[in-house]
Amino acid sequence: MDDFVFRNPTRIIFGRGAESKVGVEARAYSGKVLLHFGGGTIKKTGLFERVTASLEAAGVGFVELGGVKPNPRLSLVREGIELCRRHGLGLILAVGGGSVIDSAKAIAAGVPYAGDVWDFYTGKASPVEALPIGTVLTIPAAGSESSTGSVITNEEGAFKRALNSELIYPRFSALNPELAFTLPRNQVANGIADIMAHLMERYFTNSRPVELTDRLIEATLRTVIAVGPAVLRNPRDYDAWAELMWSGTVAHNNLLNTGREGDWGSHDIEHELSGIYDIPHGAGLAVVIPAWMKRVYRHDPVRFVQFAVRVWGVDQSFRDAEATVLEGIARLEAFWASIGLVLRLKDLGIGNDRFAEMASKCSSGGKSTVGHFIPLGKKEIEDIFELAK
């Protein structure tokens, strides 16, 4: 097991009506908050009213900033920073899914910083302070409600880049599974892919032995595999949604990578796709990950055998490890297909004309690599696009 430091301070308020408790939580940090959200669905569903009523009951004022899009944009982040400064806001309350929360985190880090917030995403600077963040989660997927990560797209050049910092752990997150009942089917499926990707990025590691965290990841994957189809069959199945929503948080709250190094190459590769083609992150991951697996499994077939047997219940071919490995990957693909995800770039409408460009961008023009299971340079990234086409 690798040495590690772990702390996750997010307070989780889980259950029906959780969104009506955020006023009191927010009040502990500030009397005036930025209420950050997406396309306005929350105004149609009544969620906006419940959240603002909770704020008002706690004596917390707010300034609204809606309009966050999937693959959240730097320009809106800048607007949010400006609003916080102008109105002296002391907390960002994100009401939405991963994009809204990631945008809130960027704003929170940007407000006390004299330079350009994009510096944090290019690695030019690291945040030394941030405004506190609270969330009301509406989509089980990104895990941003209790994570250190934020991913933002800079429209100038279609760069999609990530910031990781303990300073942007949300202070509190309200998780009400009922809020997911009305999600469109494709968004649910993309969310399931995203959750599973977070688990698999942690699973495929060179750190060993990592018995406990292996088993915890396998446990969470099996839960998602069990309840994912259930929420698609019956979108009002509270119990199944509760399992899926809590799995999405546990998948990405950093407990499951304690003592091990994750891979994250597939995420970096997917960011090139969604940065340029503006596809949903989960949909991109469903295409990239099986291709990544086919490219890298020979590096450590035993780990892939364990994945096949323990996660997918594959009947192990003891004399033919490769057969077991490939059956595990096939089961993953079959599962994703069964919930309506597509598995090839061409089915996302993406041709092979920009593979070289994306591989170059992802590897800083061939000068760097992504991923840890095996480091992927420009050539290997192109191989993966080819396997995914």
Q: Which stretch binds a second copy (CB under 8 A): 3-11, 89-97, 195-203, 373-381?
A: 3-11
Of 60, 52, 62, 94, residue with least CA distance to 77: 94
Cβ proximity to a second copy, 16 vs 346, nearer residue: 16
Phi-psi region of 71 (alpha: psi -120 to 50; beta: other; left: phi over 0): left
Q: Is 32 helix (H, G, I), strand (E, B) or coil?
A: strand
Which residues sit opposite 159 in a β-bridge? 154
- Cα–Cα distances in angstroms (integers) from residue 36 to residues 26, 51, 101, 103, 133, in the given order: 14, 11, 8, 8, 10
Site string for a second copy, 237-276 (x = CB under 8 A): --x--xx--xx--x----x--xx-----------------
Please tell me the count of residues contacting a second copy according to CB under 8 A. 38
Q: Which of positions 17-76 make contact with a second copy (CB under 8 A)?
A: 18
Cβ proximity to a second copy, 193 vs 269, nearer residue: 193
Q: How far apart are the first and last CA of the chain?
A: 37
For residue 68, the Cα-to-chain-centroid distance in whole angstroms is 16
For residue 178, the Cα-to-chain-centroid distance in whole angstroms is 20
Q: Which amino acid is present at 136?
A: V
Cβ proximity to a second copy, 196 vs 250, nearer residue: 250
Please name the residue ranges forming H helices in 319-376: 321-338, 355-362
Is 356 one of the binding residues for a second copy (CB under 8 A)?
no
Cβ proximity to a second copy, 171 vs 344, nearer residue: 171
CB 320 to a second copy: min, Å: 24
- Cα–Cα distances in angstroms (integers) from residue 263 to residues 198, 267, 341, in the given order: 10, 9, 23
CB 83 to a second copy: min, Å: 29
Q: Is 136 helix (H, G, I), strand (E, B) or coil?
A: strand
| Residue owning tokens 């006023």 | 23
CB 197 to a second copy: min, Å: 17
Cβ proximity to a second copy, 167 vs 326, nearer residue: 167
**Residue 341: which H helix or E strand, with range?**
none
Q: Which of positions 176-235 make contact with a second copy (CB under 8 A)?
A: 209, 211-212, 215-216, 218-220, 222-223, 226-227
Cβ proximity to a second copy, 144 vs 176, nearer residue: 176
CB 289 to a second copy: min, Å: 22
Cβ proximity to a second copy, 8 vs 41, nearer residue: 8
Which chain residues interact with a second copy by CB under 8 A?
1-16, 18, 209, 211-212, 215-216, 218-220, 222-223, 226-227, 239, 242-243, 246-247, 250, 255, 258-259
